[in-house]
Homo-oligomer: A and B are copies of this chain.
C-alpha cells in the first residue's frame, strides 16, 4: 500500500516495529534471520494499525500497552503467514519468495512456531480477558483453515459459508485487534463492542478485496502471483458469484475447472476469464463496499470531531480503494 499507508499512528507503528524486532532476537542466528526475513518483507501492518487507531479513538491513555499487544498481533499474524504458505504451497509473499522455499519447510515451520510463541509471550502478560480473546481468535483461525481445506473444490459453497471462513481466518483477528485497543483504552462495553464490529467488518471487506485482486490484480503490484485461489481450489466470493450468475455454459466450464484435482495454467486463466466476464467481480466489490460501510457505521458513537475516527473511516475507504 506504499506511501499512502499513513493513518496518524506512524510514530506508534515505529515503536511496534522496534518491539517486534526485539522479540525475534534469538541465540540461534538462523531463527532470527528467517523471522526477520518474513517481518522485513513488510506487509501492511493492518492489525497493529487497527489496534492503535481503536485505542486512540476510544481514549487518550499511554499507548505503551497497546504497542506491546499490537506487536504481539503482528508476530502471530506473521507466524500464520509462514504456516499458510507451507500449506498452500504459496511461492511468493509480500513480493518475496516464501520463507519455506528460501529456507526449507523444516526451518520455516519451526520459525512459525517461534513467532507464535513470541506473540503469546507478549499477549500472555495481558489481562485474562485479552488472553482469552487472543486465544479464541487464534483457535478460530485454525478452524477457518480446516474449513477452507475441507471445502476445497466445493462448487456448492454458499456465500454464507464463504463469509464464515473469512470471518474466522481474517476478520475475527482484526476484530480482536480493534476490540483490544478499546479495552486497553478503558472504553465502555458499548464502545468496545462497536470497535470489535468495526474490525470484523473491515476485515471482511479487506479479505473480499484480497480475493477479488487474486482474480483481477497485477502480480507485480501485489507482490504475489494471481489465480492462486483457483489453483489451490479455494472457492472465494468472485467464484461463488460467477457460479450463481454467469451464463450456463460458462458456469459448467467453471465448475469443471474448480473440481479438477490437477489444474494447468490454461485452466486457471480460463477460470479467471470466466469470472471476470460474469460480472462477479463488480458484485463482490459491492459486497466489500457494504462491509466497509458497516465498519464506518459502527463508529457512530464516536464524536465526529475525534480525529482518529476520521482516520478509521479513511482506512475503511482505503481497503476498498486498493481494488481500483
Q: A residues engaging B (CB < 8 A)? A: 26-28, 30-31, 79-80, 83, 86-87, 105-107, 109-114, 116-118, 120-121, 123-126, 128, 131-132, 134-136, 138-139, 141-143, 145-147, 149-150
Chain B residues with Cβ under 8 A from A142's Cβ? 26, 28, 31, 110-111, 113-114, 117
> Are A132 and B121 neighbours in the complex by a CB distance under 8 Å?
yes
Q: How many copies does the complex hold?
A: 2
> Are A114 and B87 neighbours in the complex by a CB distance under 8 Å?
no
> Are A110 and B145 neighbours in the complex by a CB distance under 8 Å?
yes
Supplied contacts A110-B142, A110-B149, A114-B143, 20 more A-B pairs, CB within 8 Å: A31-B142, A31-B146, A83-B113, A87-B106, A106-B145, A107-B149, A111-B142, A111-B146, A113-B116, A113-B142, A116-B116, A117-B120, A117-B135, A120-B124, A120-B135, A121-B131, A121-B136, A124-B131, A124-B134, A125-B128
Bound complex: CA A116 to CA B149 (Å): 20
> Are B28 and A146 neighbours in the complex by a CB distance under 8 Å?
yes
Residue among A113, A132, A141 with most chain B CB within 10 A: A113
* Residue in chain B with minimal CB distance to A29: B146
Bound complex: CA A121 to CA B137 (Å): 11
Chain B residues with Cβ under 8 A from A121's Cβ? 131-132, 135-136, 139
